[in-house]
A and B are shown apart, each in its own frame.
Chain A
């Protein structure tokens, strides 16, 4: 079944007040990011260097993965390889079963969302507790995250209050963020102390040392991974960086780009298990090597999941994470999802005004807007575009290939549109005019104005 972004975006935007609030909340994060970026003269050099490191790593990816494995094994970390989501989930379940684990605490991992690990484990009788506050909120509500860094950004505090009332027995009508956070702290502390195993994602895996780095603000990954005897960390093949010192670049970029903080509260470097425990790393492909083979889209594998492209995107801010229908929304999701399944996610590359803000903000210089432009062409070539859009494009092409006719059409539009009745002008064929007014039409065409200015006859 294919997925239509604009229909779901329509649904989200129908609550105008909520949509405007969502837009503002994310813009606030974007502004904080700008303040941090501008505080460093070397910001652009950091981005350039990060881009070069990632690009180099991708062109030597097999070598660095093998180096990582070798060094991790030497430290006693067990390494597993999973071709796809199914294999990943089976490896995790086997590990949990072999440790007789009944309840696990999990920190944020977009990869496990991608693999639909939680429902799989729950089907097999394991209680899974997401411990990032935002993730716990959406987990209790049986919803997926709507943002990769701010999972519950689509919710108001009153929504969280109602959810906690139901599940955590908080006071009725109390939606004070501090009160609710404290309630979650108490609730999750019990889970942390009672867990049989922990799972974390991986922000960076260091080939040189065989260790992994996890960044959080809440300390949930750390508290989770330091109590039980079993720690499973799951990573996509693209999370590798060559050297420990490369972190000096990435730790400076990540939190500043994500939330406008100078660094995350905790930047933990795991190079082995807790006393008497076991640490496992699961390396997952799940379609990534396919993207690696396409040089037009390979840079999407450089992504460090900071979410800056979501916060800056005028479409994401006004359409919400769920309108994308994919585990990762926003500009980065709009290229990753169709790379996975072009037919299903054909509409996502069009959820973009080609303003290029995402390309300009990305800390590792993923060419997001460029990729979305190319993806649109893939969609047309594959024949997935809706007939209305396709015919409109064909008509436009036909017209633009005939300059004289194009001039005449422009002239007619300038004369006719201002005198046409509204019913006709804003009919169902004018999708552009659905929620907005047409601008006043100028007297002269651009061509005429240009010629006049340049003195061309």
Chain B
């Protein structure tokens, strides 16, 4: 008998027969917020990130020039944003992204309760970009913001061709040394969410 069969057989014999254990619905009544933008901004600030509202992509370009003066290598996956100094699609090897100072990526929607943004870019070639960049900017269409993870997961699906998606809530962080919070563990040291 293969290990697979042995394990499944052991489980079949061992599993509890609990007739009351129906799979429950998950659409429970959840906390909602009067001002979604304000709640999102406060929560994101609480986890070390910041939220900004801008009018247009050209305003984003201006914001980048002003706030990321030090950034030499910039990769953007956002169409219409002319700030790239490096093209993501041009490289076959994600290791070449190790010098990226600033990545600007697309977020689908934001979650007010926890400051997270859902990211699933079908056309972004290397997911490593999200984690290897020194600083991260996520562009989210304004009003694409939900109250809670319950609403969030009603908007998420994984079709046959989808291979990766994630929530990012603020910059990378750790408290592994004496419970002292340090922003910037292995991933981005800064995370800015821009609503336009």
- Cβ of A444 within 8 Å of any chain B Cβ, yes or no, is no
Residues on the A chain within 8 Å of B163, using CB: 75, 270-273
Interface segment, A55-63, A321-329, A358-366?
A: A55-63
For A249, list chain B residues within 8 Å (CB). 26
Tell me whether B169 and A262 are in contact (CB under 8 A): yes
Is B187 a contact partner of A266 (Cβ separation < 8 A)?
A: yes
Query: CB distance B176 to A222 under 8 Å?
Result: no
A275 touching B180 by the CB < 8 A rule?
A: no
Size category, A interface: 35 or more
A244 vs B178: C-alpha distance when bound (angstroms): 35
Q: How far is the CA of A274 from the CA of B173 in the complex (A)?
A: 24
Whether B83 sits at the interface, judged by CB under 8 Å, is no
Segment at the A interface, from B64-72, B73-81, B108-116: B108-116
B62 within 8 A of A: no
Chain B CB within 10 A, most for which of A133, A134, A160? A133
Q: Is the pair B13, A293 in contact by a Cβ cutoff of 8 Å?
A: yes
A185 to B176, CA, bound (A): 13
Q: Are the C-beta atoms of B17 and A237 separated by less than 8 Å?
A: no
| A:142-198 near B, CB below 8 Å | 150-153, 155-157, 160, 177-178, 180-182, 184-185, 188-189, 192-193
> Nearest-CB distance from A157 to chain B (Å)?
5
Q: Which B152-171 residues have C-beta < 8 A from chain A? A: 152-154, 156-158, 160, 162-171
Q: Is the CB of A425 closer than 8 A to any CB of chain B?
A: no
Tell me if B22 is interfacial: C-beta within 8 Å of chain A. yes
Bound Cα distance from A227 to B165, whole angstroms: 16
State the Cβ distance, A90 to closest chain B Cβ, in Å.
11
- Contact check, B166 vs A180: say whether CB atoms are below 8 A apart: no
Whole-angstrom CA separation of A273 from B128 in the bound complex: 12
Residues of B within 8 A of A53 (CB): 23-24, 26
Is the CB–CB distance between A262 and B185 below 8 Å? no
Question: Given the interface contacts A157-B178, A265-B172, does A292 sit within 8 Å of B16 by beta carbon?
Answer: yes
Q: How far is the CA of A274 from the CA of B176 in the complex (A)?
A: 29
Shortest Cβ distance from residue B84 to the other chain A in the assembled complex, whole angstroms = 20
Among candidates B12, B16, B152, B176, residue contacting A150 with C-beta atoms closer than 8 Å: B176
Q: What is B's interface to A at a CB cutoff of 8 Å?
A: 2-4, 6-8, 10-18, 21-24, 26, 28-31, 43, 46-47, 92, 94-95, 98, 111, 113-116, 125-128, 130-132, 148-150, 152-154, 156-158, 160, 162-180, 182, 184-188
